[in-house]
Chains A and B, each alone.
Chain A
C-alpha cells in the first residue's frame, strides 16, 4: 500500500511520547518518533540510546518518553549494549524461556558524537558480528549536548566552539567523515541515508526496511540543531529540504551492496541556499571568503557524482 502520512499517524500512535525536553526546532524527536512508527504495532522493541541530547532529554528520572523497553548506559557503547540485549533474546528464545509467538526488535539512537566518533568502535564491532538490530545515527554535525563542539561529522568551515571561526582559522578545516560509506564497507544487508522530508516518506520506508531486514542495519539521518546551526526554530523543515535539494545530504540506500539513489533533484540548488540560513556558516559570506563557498560546492558536487557513479556501477 502506498505511503500516506496522515494514515500512518492515525493508525500508529506515537511510541515516543511528548513531554520530553528536547529543544523547539530540534530535528531529532520527529526522527525518533517516525522511525518507531515503522514498527508493526504488535511488535515490542528495545531501544538503546547513546548518552547525548536525546537521552538526557527523554529519560530524566523518574520520567521517560519511551513506551517501549529502553536502556541507556554510556556514550560510546550503545551498539554493544543493544548487542547484549539481542544476544540475550537469541539465547532465551532458543532455550524456550521467552514466548515464541511474538517478535522483539532492537533499535539504537546515537548522535554523531556517539556514532561517528567515540562510539565508532562499538558500532563497527556490533555490525560485523551481525546482530539483528538497527543503528540509527541522528547526525546534527557536532557535539550539541556539551555545547556545540566539532565532531568528525561537522562540515568543513563550520563555526563550532572547538573550531571557532577566527581571524586566522576560518572554522573547522577538515571535511566531514562519510559515515554511511564507512558502514557500507561493513557489507551490511541494509544501509540507508535519509532525512525527515517530503511527508517523511523516505524516512519511514527506510526505517521499515531497516527494522524488518534481518541482520545488522544502519540508518544515517541528518537531524538539524537550531542552537548549533543557528536557524530559527520554525525553519527545521526548510533546512531539511535545502539539505536534500542542494545534494548536501543525498537520500540513498545500499541494499546488499547495491546503491540506489532515492531522490535526484530536477533542479539541484546551489550550496549557498543551504549554507545561508545557518549562522555557523555566516563567515563564509564575508567579502573575500568566496573561495570557501566554491570549495564547499566542489566537495558537494564530487560526493554527489561519486554516489551517482556507484549507483551506475551497480546497474551494469
Chain B
C-alpha cells in the first residue's frame, strides 16, 4: 500500500527525483518548473540525496552539463519549461544522438513570443523530432508515476535514449491534489542502479564521445537512433507491466476512456483529458456515446495502436495545445490522421487548436466539440478540418 499525500505536480516530480536519487542534477530556474530545482536543492542541502547539484548559468549549460555527467557514467536529471527548453534545443538533439538516457521534467508552457508564462504544449511539440521519448501526464499522480518509470525505459540497452516527462504548467504543476506515493525502498528497487557499458570516467577504457560524423557514417547512426525509438515501444509497455505489479496502477501508450463503444471521440493530452472525461461522463448520462483517447506516449508515437483503437468511431476531434502554424493542422492531429491513413482506416477527423498561452478550456467548450462531432456524424460533412476552440472571433 502506498503513502497517501497531497502534493502539487512540481512537488510530486521533486519527490520522485528525491526517491530516484540521481548522481547529478543540473538545472536553471524558469516558470513554471522553477520549484523543482528549488525543492531538489533543499534535498541536497539537507543531505537527503547523494546528488551533486550544478546550479548552471543557463538551460543550454544545464543540458550540456547533463550530457557531460551522463557520458561520464552517472545518472543526470534536469527540469525546465518553454524558453528554457528552446535554449536547450541544440543540446536535445546531441543528447539523443549520443544515446544518453538523461531524464528531464518538462513543465509545459507557451514558447515565446510574445512572452507568456502559462500552459500550452508548444515547448514539447518543438522537440518532437529531437529523438527524446516524450511521456505526457494528466495530473500529479501520472507525472510522478511517469518519472518513476522513466529510467527503466531510457536506460534499457535496446533503447538508450533521453526521456522527458511532460505535465501542464500551473494547471497541474501548481495544483495540489491527492496522490499515492510509493515507498522509498520500493522506488529504489524498481529504478535500480545505473551500470553504463562505456563511460568517460572509466580510466581502464578511455572513450571518445561526440565525433565529427560525416557522410560515410551519420546516416547509419541516425537509423540506429530510429531503431532505438521503435524498440522503446516494447520497453515502455514492459516497464508499465512491472509498475502495475508494484502499484496496481495501469499504464499503456494511451488511456482509452469510454472508447470501445463510442460514436464520437476526443484525442488529447495532459490535463485536458481530465476535463474531457468529465464531459464524457455527463454525455454518457444522457445516452450520448462519447469517448476519450488520452495520449500518454507521444514519442515514440503509437500510430498503429491509436488507429486500431479509433477505427470503430464515427467522428474524431484531435485537440492540439500548440499551433504548428502550417495551414495543415497541429502535430498530434497530423500523427493521428497519418496513423489511421497508413492503417487504411478512414474516420472523419477534425483538428482543434486550443488553450494557447494558458487560455482556460472549460467543460462547456469540450461539449461544443462533441456537438460539432455529432453534426459531422449526422451530416457526413467535415467542413473545415482545421478549427480553433475558445478563441475570439468564432469557434471555427
A residues near B (Cβ < 8 Å) are 44, 46, 48, 55-56, 59-62, 64, 66-74, 76-77, 79-92, 94-95, 97-99, 102, 104, 121-122, 124-126, 128-129
Contact = CB atoms under 8 A, between A and B. Distances in A.
Contacts of B214: 60-61
B55 A129 contact: yes
Interface string B65-77: 1111111111010
A91 B64 CA distance: 17
A81 B67 contact: yes
Given A73-B98, A83-B64, A83-B68, 13 more contacts: A46-B200, A59-B211, A64-B211, A70-B200, A73-B64, A80-B60, A80-B65, A84-B66, A84-B70, A85-B68, A85-B72, A87-B54, A98-B201
Contacts of B213: 61
Contacts, number: 168
B292 interface: no
Instruction: Give the size range of B's interface with the partner.
Output: 35 or more
A73 B94 contact: yes
B206 A73 contact: no
B23 interface: yes
Contacts of B374: none
B208 A88 contact: no
B68 A88 contact: yes
B61 A125 contact: yes
Given A59-B212, A71-B210, A91-B23, A84 B201 contact: no
Given A55-B212, A80-B56, A71 B74 contact: no
A44 B206 contact: yes
A73 B208 CA distance: 11
7 contacts: A59-B212, A85-B200, A87-B54, A88-B72, A94-B50, A129-B54, A129-B55
B32 to A, nearest CB: 23
Nearest to A95: B50
B60 A67 contact: no
Contacts of A91: 23-24, 50-52, 69, 74
Contacts of A99: 203
B209 interface: yes
B65 A73 contact: no
Query: Interface centre among B71, B76, B200, by most A CB within 10 Å?
Result: B200
A164 B60 CA distance: 33
B363 interface: no
Contacts of A97: 23
A84 B210 contact: no
B21 to A, nearest CB: 10
B207 interface: yes
A81 B60 contact: no
A83 to B, nearest CB: 5
Given A83-B54, A95-B50, A88 B217 contact: no
Contacts of B217: 61-62
B57 A121 contact: yes
B158 to A, nearest CB: 23
Given A69-B200, A91-B24, A74 B50 contact: no
